[in-house]
Homo-oligomer: A and B are copies of this chain.
């Protein structure tokens, strides 16, 4: 039992990346008990002088180059007393996103796994991964979070592929471009990409106007009356 109610606090990160066809999560293979050999999310103990946001970045840096992680946000607390073998652990989970063009070096024990075919995971890490993907899917529709999945510059087709992989259903390129440009999150660079090997019209290249999460509020109904589009 925990002395005087003191509890070990962990931080965990669901780091997602869109492979051409499906989302992948970064997992590492545990070398020690408990759950030796199972795959686990990056993370570790909360340190005495750091908050959870700082802590998760510190632990993440051991598994992946932090510069490649374009966005990190808090997900939820997992505290079921039976979420793992004793001693009891409470974890604050985060969502991290890596752009599709980044292929950061990872340690030998670490690898990307498609989220729809997860191996046996340690603790409740499979469930936590699911929560992370759900959060990403929700935010794709009402925020500019796509910036964290896409390369610096990209064509609409590439972006459509990323959205399709993340959402798990077809996405119309026409509609995607229109929605994102109307919200002002997408800006044309003026340049075009070289056509593919089988020809075709060269694709115009775009970039995200902002690389920090912003809610593109038309999702907010029941707006204030006059409303000259405040944020």
**A61 on interface, CB distance cutoff 8 Å:** no
Chain A residues within 8 Å of chain B by Cβ, number: 45
Give the residues in chain B near A52, CB-CB below 8 Å.
77, 79, 90
Q: Given A76-B74, A79-B52, A92-B79, decide whether A170 and B224 contact each other with a Cβ distance below 8 A.
A: yes
Which of A7, A74, A88, A222 has most B Cβ within 10 Å?
A222
- In Å, the complex CA distance between A192 and B35 comes to 61
**A5 on interface, CB distance cutoff 8 Å:** yes
Distance of A12 from chain B, by nearest CB (Å): 12
- In Å, the complex CA distance between A92 and B7 comes to 13
**A28 on interface, CB distance cutoff 8 Å:** no
**A220 on interface, CB distance cutoff 8 Å:** yes
Give the residues in chain B near A74, CB-CB below 8 Å.
76-77
**A106 on interface, CB distance cutoff 8 Å:** no
**A45 on interface, CB distance cutoff 8 Å:** yes
Binds B, one of A17-25, A138-146, A150-158, A205-213: A138-146
Q: Given A175-B222, A222-B171, decide whether A81 and B51 contact each other with a Cβ distance below 8 A.
A: yes
Question: Would B179 and A222 count as touching, CB distance under 8 A?
Answer: yes
**A60 on interface, CB distance cutoff 8 Å:** no
Question: Would B224 and A169 count as touching, CB distance under 8 A?
Answer: yes
Question: Would B222 and A176 count as touching, CB distance under 8 A?
Answer: yes
Interface residues of A in 182-231 (CB under 8 A from B): 219-222, 224-225
- In Å, the complex CA distance between A1 and B6 comes to 12
A166 (CB) vs chain B CBs: closest residue:
B222
Give the residues in chain B near A59, CB-CB below 8 Å.
none
Distance of A92 from chain B, by nearest CB (Å): 5
**A80 on interface, CB distance cutoff 8 Å:** yes
Distance of A76 from chain B, by nearest CB (Å): 6
Give the residues in chain B near A49, CB-CB below 8 Å.
81
Give the residues in chain B near A171, CB-CB below 8 Å.
222
Inter-chain pairs besides A74-B77, A141-B220, A176-B222, 12 sampled, C-beta below 8 Å: A2-B48, A3-B6, A5-B8, A7-B7, A9-B90, A51-B79, A51-B81, A53-B79, A141-B219, A142-B220, A163-B222, A179-B221
